[in-house]
Structures are given as C-alpha cells and as structure tokens.
Amino acid sequence: MKKLKHDISTTVTWALKEDLGAFDQQTPSVEQDITAMLIPENELAIATVITREDCVLSGVAWVNEVFTQLDKSLGQVNEQATKITWFVNDGEVVKANTTLFELRGNARTLLTGERTALNFLQTLSGTATLTSQYVKELAGTKTKLLDTRKTLPGLRSAQKYAVLCGGGVNHRIGLFDAFLIKENHIAACGGIAQAVATAKKNHSDKTVEVEVESMDELQQALDAGADIIMLDNFTPTMIEQAVAATRGKAKLEVSGNMTIEILQEYTKAGVDFISSGALTKHVQAVDLSMRFQ
C-alpha cells in the first residue's frame, strides 16, 4: 500500500503535466489550461459524473488525487477547494446511468481536472470490469485468476489494483519480488535445474516459478524444487497429465492465450492458477461523462 500511494501521486502528477504542458515545472497548475482561464476566477460550480454502461468501479483514489493536486497548485482552501462526494466504492458493481460522484468547487479546477481524472477512472474501471467477467467464469472451481506484467506503461500498480477490485489475484508486481524463469532464462543459465538452484541460493525467501513447454520440462522443474510451474500453451489433455504427474508437489499455473471463452475448459483438471495478459492490455475503457449542473 505504501508503494501504491507513492505511485498514485507520481502518476497523477505526470498525467497532469502531460495535459497542461508543464514538464518544465515541478507542479502543474490550472493556470496553464488556456480554455479554463476563460472562466471568471472565482466562479463556483457543481458537476456530476455518471457511467453510461455497466461496470465494476476502480480508481477513486486517482480521481481524488487529481483535484487535490490542482487545488494545491492554486492554494485553494475553504469554499474554493474541490469537494468530492462519492456514491459508489471501488470494487462495486455499477449499473449504466448511475451517478458515481459529485464535484463542488472552482469551475476552472473542475474543468481542468475532468479529463485526467476520467482517464484514470475509465481505464481502471475497464480493467476491473474485464477481470470480474473472467472471475465469473471460474466460479465454483479452485482456480484463481492472475494478472501479468503486460500492463500499460506507468500504470503497473494502478492496473494491478484494478484487478483486485475485479476479484482477481496479483501475480508478481515486477522483476524484483518473485522469480519467473522462462525459456530464455533457462537457455542462458544452462538448464532448469541450474536456474532454480541459483535462484534459491540468491534469494531463498522468494517464490520460484518456472515456465515449461513439455511434460519433460515439467518433470525437470519438479525435480529442481520449483514452487510454481507455469504450463505454457498446454492443451487440456496435457494439463490433466500435468496435474496427475505433479500430485501437489508444486502449484500449477496455465497461461497462453487464455481468452474468456475457453477458461472453463482449462479449469476442469484442477490447476491452481490461470494467468491472462488480456486483463491489463486488452482494456476497453468504460464510457463516463461529466456534466455541470
């Protein structure tokens, strides 16, 4: 959570600078929005944001941070500061045309922050919504849904948070918190046994996962003591064989073109995890709209 809070602040600042052309300044400011500056300085406004389609909400903290930073840029306090009232929470299933939140504050600030705030909310809600659809397909099975590192650049922690909102489970966050030994690592290390042994020697406290492409490699990974074995592009029949051969000696993860249409077919054998890059890279943003009252 500490890392997430840091990332929220950093990514929001970056997004605001991108929108306001303020990369040469430490803090982006409403005063750089040339269209908003057409509005009288002390004009107050009320606005509401609705979703135009069913979704699972994710991104409340990012929206709040957008207006917090903009308020600070103008030193706005009291009646000029932006007040946000949320009517739904992250992880909540929301029907189309539902009002998500209300904004009260300086009209310039509300309009300057609109697109940046909604960009975060629509993207993260899109990730959460797609994840929830995948999770529904796994209901009643032991299989958990994992995300991957195939995230939008700069939004790693944000999208992984959205996956949690949708009912999924985070895989490793990056290259630092767990081993995932893949084909090229195996080739460079001289084999599965050597790669796993070195991993356990270097970081005995880290989970060691090995990607395998055949039953022979599966057995090598088991013999080496891998904690998790990723079955890459295994057929359903091969997965059944892998489950029988593993007998609980390691956790099994299935990956490789895991579309929502075929999930149930791959869970029948009783694998522990299914991972899908689609959750975070095939994202269709939720349609949101802000209107002044």
- Residues belonging to the active site: 115, 150, 182, 211, 232
| Dihedral sign computed on CA atoms, order 59, 60, 61, 62 | positive
Q: In the block, which residue shows the tokens 């059944």?
A: 240
Say if residues 231 and 271 touch (Cβ distance below 8 Å): yes
Say if residues 16 and 70 touch (Cβ distance below 8 Å): yes
Q: In the block, which residue shows the tokens 């073109």?
A: 257
- The Cα–Cα gap between 228 and 180 comes to 9
- The Cα–Cα gap between 132 and 55 comes to 9
3-state secondary structure of 158: helix
Query: Residue 160: which region, alpha, beta or left (left: phi > 0; alpha: psi -120 to 50)?
Result: alpha
Q: CA 172, 173, 174: angle at the middle one, nearest 5?
A: 95
User: Residue 259 — φ and ψ, nearest 5°?
Assistant: -80, 160
- The Cα–Cα gap between 218 and 193 comes to 11
Amino acid at 6: H
